Structure 1
Amino acid sequence: MAHSAFTLLSGDPVLDRRLDWARAFLAEGDASACAELLAETVADAPHFAAAWFLLGEARAAMADRAGATEAFERVRALDPDDALGAGLHLARLGAAPAEGAMSAAYVRTLFDQYADRFDTALRDKLAYRGPELLFEALARAAAARGRTLAFAEGLDLGCGTGLAGVLFAAVVERLAGVDLSPAMLEKAAGLGLYVRLEAGEMGAALEAVPEAGLDLILAADALCYVADLAPLFHAARRALKADGLFAFTLETHDGDGVILRDTLRYAHSAAHVRALAQAAGLAVVLLEAASTRAEKGVAVPGLVCVLG
């Protein structure tokens, strides 16, 4: 059977059904049966990346660190772009650095698949209120700075389906958006709120802005997919006008620096954010504890921040 270098399906319906059975075993808590079935599957189809990936998850659930590492490394070898996010699992296993573990291909694939149910899942299942918290924080920060809550040029980083745009378009004359997921951008375009939408990375979009070209930069629930915020902060400093503001939410933790949570999202400590802002030449106008979402009914620790 011919195989491409990377495939989510094996090309063999029998093997693809095995993957479904293995996934069901793991969902039922039987990681051992899942791993046994998948070991046979990858022996028959060594290029079956999705099977290797699930095998890694099963072995991790069995506390087989070496076996899980081997499986996830096979996935990454089959798909150097890492659309499945094997690098994140390797980082969680301590087999790779957390910085740089989250690939653009993984984020794009995740949200392209999620686009149709994104808003409902966030609002109804996760009690998401990031845009509302951010808008209220921005209003207080603007007041503290003695400026009106009105902006000429704005950029919504990781704009997704436009949940933040719905609120912020009312105070931004020309709001642009950037996101890695074309499927999410298609939803955002349907709102008719953005003057321009671009498929791409947040950092690259900021760097493309003329110096002092923006009055407002937003990032609602987007920076949890960024391990190293320093380049983004420096790019924001260059792109902001003298009285411009950079408002964003983050997930946080009680330790130092940045960690990769078991949800495969990054959490940044408040002290770390302050230090990065200072290093980039940005003033902390507002930095407060605020949870934007819940997971399994428990509030996820977070920060709402406005830099100037």
Structure 2
Amino acid sequence: MGSPWPFREVSVAASTFTASSGDPVLDRRLDWARAFLDDGDAAGAAELLAETVADAPGFAAAWFLLGEARLTLSDAPGAAEAFGRARALDPRDALGAGLRLARLGAVPADGAMSAAYVRTLFDQYADRFDTALRDALAYRGPELLFDAVARACAATGRKPAFARGLDLGCGTGLAGVLFAPVVAHLSGVDLSPAMLEKAAALGLYARLEAGEMGAALAAAPAGGLDLILAADALCYVADLAPIFRAARAALAPDGLFAFTLETHDGAGVLLRETLRYAHAADHVRQRAAEAGLALVLMEAVSTRAEKSVPVPGLVCVLGRG
């Protein structure tokens, strides 16, 4: 493998939302309101936050927390108003106000998750990511994905060895640990530089890039990838069609695109309470067929648990077709 450091960072600008009111007294109010909310006093938090945004109407973080407090109080219209103000003050939506608005039915769920939100979330989460996933959520996505790829290779009569691979949403490199031994040149892309620092420390990736999955696939040479991976990364994507089309173009003739995602028993795409997207199995099949991808394997699995309850999911392997 080549040197994994430094990774290349592209086209992900920092959000410009107002993290501070500019007044230390009002900033302390935000901390007090958050403490009230954590202690179960949503009414007290909402009252304090309403006073805060009256004094500092450009304080996006206070508007966002006011939305959270009002939501806890079952005041959906008031929550939507507050989240709307937060998103207007933060066009890149690093706080994720768009997702809250989508859950409230105030905006379409498709496209509600911003890149800035995902980057902020995982930059904050990076230091405890592996422990939280493995210990608290019983995460086993990479293992299920590796097994699925091995079985897909057996079914198609090819060896489980790949010249060039791309790990989409690679995070800290949990999938890379399993796949690096069977991929001669493994690259990774993730929105979070903090997560990529963890992945780089493993020394498994030939190249790491901070950027969006779709952009990384689109930039790949046509037919240049033998394996594309996405271990629990597509739950942050509402519309699979662009990713699937880009994957089809980037895959070698006998290449494989393997991924896990969350699913549900209904139709289409659902934004779950956890603010992750779940894709129905028929929806995945349809999007794959539309992109010219052939279904090699699709199985119901659970890659993680929430409150000790398995989260319904799918493991899929697609070929170029």
Normalized against structure 1, the TM-score is what? 0.97
- 1:13 corresponding residue in structure 2: 24
| Deviation at residue 284 of structure 1 after TM alignment | 0.8
State the AA in 1 paired with 2:169. G
Match of 1:100 among 103, 111, 121: 111
- 1:226 corresponding residue in structure 2: 237
- Cα deviation 1:68-89 (Å, max 9, x = unaligned): 1110111111110111010000
| Deviation at residue 152 of structure 1 after TM alignment | 0.4
What is the aligned length? 304
- Cα deviation 1:120-165 (Å, max 9, x = unaligned): 1111111111000100111111101111100000000000111100
- Cα deviation 1:34-61 (Å, max 9, x = unaligned): 1111101111111111111010011112
Once residues 232 and 264 of structure 1 are traced to their aligned partners in structure 2, the CA distance between those partners, rounded to angstroms, is: 20
- 1:86 corresponding residue in structure 2: 97
Once residues 152 and 55 of structure 2 are traced to their aligned partners in structure 1, the CA distance between those partners, rounded to angstroms, is: 59
1:297 aligns with 2:305: no
| Deviation at residue 30 of structure 1 after TM alignment | 2.2
| Deviation at residue 18 of structure 1 after TM alignment | 1.5
1:135 aligns with 2:128: no
The equivalences for 1:16-95 within 5 A come to 16-95=27-106
- 1:243 corresponding residue in structure 2: 254
Once residues 200 and 19 of structure 2 are traced to their aligned partners in structure 1, the CA distance between those partners, rounded to angstroms, is: 29
| Deviation at residue 7 of structure 1 after TM alignment | 1.5
Once residues 6 and 239 of structure 1 are traced to their aligned partners in structure 2, the CA distance between those partners, rounded to angstroms, is: 36
Once residues 30 and 300 of structure 1 are traced to their aligned partners in structure 2, the CA distance between those partners, rounded to angstroms, is: 30
Say if 2:17 and 2:91, in contact at 8 Å, map to a contact too.
no
| Deviation at residue 63 of structure 1 after TM alignment | 1.7
Once residues 222 and 67 of structure 2 are traced to their aligned partners in structure 1, the CA distance between those partners, rounded to angstroms, is: 45
| Deviation at residue 184 of structure 1 after TM alignment | 0.8
Q: Which runs of 5+ in 2 are unaligned?
A: 1-15
| Deviation at residue 65 of structure 1 after TM alignment | 1.4
- 2:317 corresponding residue in structure 1: 306
State the AA in 1 paired with 2:63. W
State the AA in 2 paired with 1:44. D
RCO higher in structure (CA 8 A, sep ≥6): 2
SS in 2 for 1:154: strand
- 1:154 corresponding residue in structure 2: 165
Normalized against structure 2, the TM-score is what? 0.93
- 1:278 corresponding residue in structure 2: 289
Computed over aligned residues only, the root mean square deviation of the Cα atoms, in angstroms, reads: 1.0
Once residues 16 and 132 of structure 1 are traced to their aligned partners in structure 2, the CA distance between those partners, rounded to angstroms, is: 44
Once residues 28 and 284 of structure 1 are traced to their aligned partners in structure 2, the CA distance between those partners, rounded to angstroms, is: 49
| Deviation at residue 210 of structure 1 after TM alignment | 0.9
Once residues 135 and 26 of structure 2 are traced to their aligned partners in structure 1, the CA distance between those partners, rounded to angstroms, is: 36
- Cα deviation 1:182-236 (Å, max 9, x = unaligned): 1111111111111111111000100111111000000001000000000100110
